[in-house]
């Protein structure tokens, strides 16, 4: 089934540890995104990639890094996790960055940093 | 900068009542798209509608209807004859020349 796969589904992580959230899509979409969702704040953009080999910063990029080595994968790395990074993380993609394209969202990763 | 405001944080209604969720947006882009998403308790994001900035026709889909008014920068969502299954968090979002920007969401509780 075409779509986005996020892994893990949930994770409890000790503060200070490194963690990579995985996101893979099989739709050959050029543009990919990482959002975090926090209660009362909605979804906020962390990083994005308009095409393989390029990345950009969103609204809340601090403490996170991304890479886009190929079209399908867009991993999000927390180099040294802190409790404020406890959140639900959604990966999304769409065919192109042009506004007329709709988004496909993954099912999310629930991360708890203790 | 683009911004989406959902002033209603939480709404509670009794089943079968009509309810309107408000959404006001800000953008300088001339071409943009507006979205509504539903997030049920299970947590996934369910796409409801996308409307482009050149199409101000209201849309109805079953019990759902959307009112897009460019003059007031609003894209409101009405659920007619609400049901318990409509209980969810609803997000309005805007996409112009930057990635999708979400409002903070409105939590709707429909009480039987």
Percent share of chain A, pLDDT over 90: 90
pLDDT of A1 > 80? The answer is no
Residues of A in contact with B41 (CB under 8 A): none
Residues of A in contact with B32 (CB under 8 A): 99
Of all residues in chain B, the one with the smallest CA distance to A41 is B104
Question: Could you say which of A40, A97, A110 has the minimum Cβ distance to residue B104?
Answer: A40
Q: Which of residues 54-83 of B touch A (CB under 8 A)?
A: none
Q: What secondary structure does DSSP assign to B60-77, as a single string?
A: EETTEEEEEEGGGTEEEE
pLDDT tens string B45-88:
999 999 999 988 888 889 999 999 999 999 999 999 999 999 99
pLDDT tens string A39-92:
889 999 999 999 999 999 999 999 999 999 999 999 999 999 999 999 999 999
Read off the tokens for A82: 């802190």
- Phi then psi for residue A54, to 5 deg, are -125, 145
Residues of A in contact with B45 (CB under 8 A): 90, 105
| B9 interfacial to chain A (CB closer than 8 Å) | yes
Sheet holding A76-78, edge to edge: A4-7, A19-25, A76-78, A64-66
Residues A23 and B66: their CA atoms lie apart, in Å, by 32
């Amino acid at each position: 089934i075409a779509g986005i796969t996020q892994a893990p589904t949930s994770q409890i992580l000790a503060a200070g540890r490194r963690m990579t959230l995985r996101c893979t899509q099989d739709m050959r979409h050029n543009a990919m995104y990482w959002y975090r969702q926090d209660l009362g704040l909605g979804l906020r953009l962390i990083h994005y990639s308009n095409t393989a080999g390029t990345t950009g910063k969103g609204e809340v990029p601090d403490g996170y890094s991304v890479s886009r080595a190929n079209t399908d994968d867009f991993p999000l790395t927390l180099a040294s996790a802190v409790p404020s990074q406890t959140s639900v993380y959604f990966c999304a993609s769409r065919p192109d960055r042009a506004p007329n394209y709709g988004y496909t969202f993954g099912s999310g990763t629930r991360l708890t940093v203790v | 900068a683009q911004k989406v405001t959902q002033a209603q944080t939480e709404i509670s209604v009794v089943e079968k009542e009509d309810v309107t969720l408000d959404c006001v947006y800000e953008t300088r882009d001339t071409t943009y798209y507006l979205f509504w998403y539903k997030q049920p308790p299970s947590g996934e994001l369910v796409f409801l509608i996308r409307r482009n900035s050149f199409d101000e026709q209201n849309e109805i889909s079953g019990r759902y209807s959307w009112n897009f008014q460019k003059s007031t920068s609003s894209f409101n969502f009405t659920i007619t004859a609400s049901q318990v299954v409509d209980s969810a968090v609803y997000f309005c979002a805007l996409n112009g020349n930057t990635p999708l920007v979400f409002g903070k969401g409105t939590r709707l509780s429909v009480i039987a």
